[in-house]
Structure 1
Amino acid sequence: MLRVYFTSEDLARVRVAPGPDFLWEISNSVQTLQRRDGERAFGAWRRWVRPRLSASPRLLSSLLPPRGYSPDFLTPTSGDRATLQSAVDTLMSTPRPRLRADLTQLAASLQLPGWVSSLAGGDADTLRQLGEALRTYQLEALAPYWHRVHAHIDADRALRLRSLLDGGTEGLLAGLGPQFRWRPPVLEATYPVDQQLRLRGRGLVLQPSFFCWPTPITLADGDLPPVLVYPIHHTTGWAGPAPARPAEGAGPLGPLLGHTRAGVLRATRTGCSTVEAARLLDVTHPAVSQHLNVLRAAGLVATVRKAGRSFHVATAEGRALLATEEQARQ
């Protein structure tokens, strides 16, 4: 069980991360790739990725076992992480004492290959190899699906915003999912070990993660800037068919013409349920569902589900299309 202790100051400093974090998604997906559970959510992705990985990214599994402790330095909570390169640069600038402490803790539970000793000592060549492994893994395993990862996290953020508007920060914390229980002033979460995180006025970053599985994750060192990484809902079949962008003028975008479907897309700009879209457009629920199916197939809308209800939000591509429409009207 993980217990996160809040003060009144912490409740005022809770925020949801603005999007996927490159290094958290890499770390979580490397661990998920080694597991066998979660077949429904990740089975197709695993089968697609495993035969395509080159040798370089495979060294990451030595540092990221499928269960148990993983080094905090692999997912820094400070520094520039806006792009993959900036995140890798931040990781590679980790102070040697942190490298040594984290890898010593990892070695207490795992037999590590010899090169990890060089990494623990801050060897420049070994750090460069680690950086290259991270970049190659992102390119081979995640980049083909990154627009889907981003769309799902955008949808989850819209759902969290609604929870915040309806119930304040406590409503946001209470609605994080079945793994969580909000018992003021403590947030309890399903966790493989007993751990306590005392925020002490530092606030908390909630980081939605596509590949976090099956429980939330936090850093082992409670003195680091607090972050709580939580699993999000996955649309069935997100990993298939094999990811590929349609050719210009081809694919599922053609059926988007039509006033009602455009209206459904506009309704999802700030997020809406199926019922809300039907009421707004004065059309039937089945009709809205059919339009949403086409929009999802085109990558313009993502859907999350909570308590048996579907909540839809425009993806970055959908918002770009709406922005183009607005510019054409000006």
Structure 2
Amino acid sequence: MIHLHFTATDLTRVRFAASPLTETVASLRTLAAAGRGGHLHRPWIARFAERTSRLREHDLDLLRALVRPAGYIPDFLLPPPSRRSSTFGDALAQVADTDPEIVARELAHLAAHRAAQHGPGHEERRTLLQALVRRPDAGIGPVTEALDAYHRVAIAPDWPRIDALLNDDIAYRLDALAEGGVDRMMTNLHPSVTFADQTLRIAKYYEGHADCGGRGLLLVPCAFAWPDVLVRTAQPESPSVSYSPRGLGRLWEKHPEQTSSALAGVLGQTRAALLTQLDLPMSTSQAATQMALAAPTLSVHLQALRAAGLLTSRRAGRQVLYSRTDLGDRLLTEAGRQPTP
């Protein structure tokens, strides 16, 4: 059990962020568990298997040595995002700027970590990690190159939907914070997380205590953290907790390649397809990427659907997020019941 102890100041410094790098690193752990049955991310695992040939085998070997199925993940791989929404490039630059002495120390710890090194191939992984430690840059160069290549193949194609899910969760948590304070917001963060007496308790295989010490807490919803919770307390910045966002089961839901011809006849093919996609709240740019349309063109369709009462919008930071209304849901449901020629 990990205990994170809060002061009154810490409670005023709780913030959220979505991190494409956290998703990238956590997804490597998901791949390591791919052989287990009934996996929530199985559709993504299957898609990734089709793309694996685009990656160099030694990059995958390196990343598999860095992110094990369980146990310690080096902290330098998960730098805390500086703002609510950041790009993968920004986060990768943070990794590249890490002090090589810190990286070497964390890699040496990983090589000797009992839980992380459980299973076959330990000697090969230790040899690989020790070779990185001996480099002047402690391996930061090859690590960032491998992460970049892996992200482009594994995460970037699905990032619009992942990002939409993360921001939907953040909006929900902020609403709960506004209505009932930190207690309400923390109540259903994750089954293994409880909050009482100004202490956040996270069920883990080891015992630990950490004081937030006025630094606050960074909460990072992460689709690929499921079913675990990732905790970082060692960095000088605020401690961070990565947890599974609400509605995770919607992430890999299939959307029909062709919308109902009857619905398309009324709304038009583009607007009918757009309505189908917006089961998750998306910004104009996210939806444009998903639909492969220019943002100004898509904005016209979004406004038309909103004016018809089929979409609703809300502001989240600098973005406006659009999602289907109950009327839009019912319209799709009824259209789906009609025979398609």
Secondary structure of the residue that 2:238 maps to in structure 1? coil
Structure 1 length normalisation: TM-score? 0.73
Aligned to 1:49: 48
> Residues 96 and 121 of structure 1 are in contact (CA less than 8 Å); yes or no, is this contact kept in structure 2?
no
Question: What residue in structure 2 maps to residue 265 of structure 1?
Answer: 311
Measure, in 1, the Cα distance between the counterparts of 2:306 and 2:107: 56
CA offsets 1:264-295 (integer angstroms, 9 cap, x no match): 41256678999xx66xxxxxxxx45324779x
Q: Which residue matches 1:284?
A: none
- Aligned residue in 2 for 1:290: 330
The 8 Å contact of residues 261 and 291 in structure 1, kept in 2 or not, is answered as no
Residues 23 and 87 in structure 1, CA contact (< 8 A), matched pair in contact too: yes
Q: What displacement does 1:78 show?
A: 6.5
The percentage of counterpart residues that share the same residue type is 27
What does the per-residue CA deviation read over 1:155-205, in whole Å, with 9 as the maximum and x for residues that have no partner?
A: 101110111111112221224232221112111122232222210111111
Distance across 2 between alignment mates of 1:218 and 1:252: 39
Q: Please, which of 21, 24, 27 is the counterpart of residue 22 of structure 2?
A: 24
Partner residue, 1:107: 111
Distance 1:11 1:120 in 2: 38
Runs of 4+ in structure 1 deviating by more than 6 angstroms, as ranges, are 78-81, 254-261, 270-274
- The code of the aligned residue for 1:205 comes to L
Q: Secondary structure at the match of 1:177?
A: coil
Output one character per residue of 1:20-73: Cα deviation in whole Å (capped at 9) or x when no partner. 212211111100111145834201111111242222234201110011111111
SS in 2 for 1:57: helix
Spell out, residue by residue over 1:219-250, the C-alpha distance to the aligned partner (whole angstroms, 9 max, x if none).
25265531111111345363355999x9x965
Q: Is the contact between residue 181 and residue 187 of structure 1 (CA under 8 Å) also seen in structure 2?
A: yes
Counterparts of 2:141 and 2:127, CA distance in 1: 16
SS of alignment partner, residue 77 of structure 1: coil
Correspondence 1:1-330 to 2 at 5 A? 1-17=1-17, 20-36=18-34, 37=36, 39-53=38-52, 54=55, 55=57, 56-77=59-80, 82-109=86-113, 110=117, 111=122, 112-124=125-137, 126-219=139-232, 221=234, 223-236=236-249, 238-239=251-252, 241=254, 250=270, 252-253=273-274, 262-266=308-312, 287=327, 289-291=329-331
| Distance (whole Å) between structure 2 residues aligned to residue 266 and residue 128 of structure 1 | 45
Q: TM-score, normalised by structure 2?
A: 0.71
Amino acid at match of 1:161: L
Unaligned runs of 5+ in 2: 260-267, 277-300, 335-341
Cα distance per residue 1:73-101 (max 9 Å; x no partner): 11112779932223222212211221122
Secondary structure of 2:242's match? strand
Residue 211 of structure 1 aligns to a residue in which SS?
helix
Show the counterpart of 1:310: none
Task: Provide Cα deviations, 1:2-23, integer angstroms capped at 9, x if missing partner.
Answer: 2111111111111112xx2122
Count of residue pairs brought into register by the alignment: 281
| Structure 1 position 209, deviation (Å) | 0.8
- Aligned-pair CA distance for 1:254: 7.5
CA distance in 2, matches of 1:239, 1:161: 25
User: Tell me, which stretches of 5 or more residues in structure 1 are unaligned?
Assistant: 279-286, 295-330
Alignment-mate amino acid for residue 253 of structure 1: L
Cα distance in 2, alignment partners of residues 241 and 126 from structure 1? 39
Tell me, in whole angstroms, the C-alpha distance in 1 between the residues paired with 2:275 and 2:245: 30
Q: Which amino acid aligns with 2:21?
A: L
The amino acid that maps onto 1:5 is H
Contact preservation (8 Å) 1:4, 1:188: yes
Tell me the SS of whatever aligns to 1:139: helix
**Distance (Å, rounded) in 1 between the aligned partners of 2:81 and 2:249:** 34
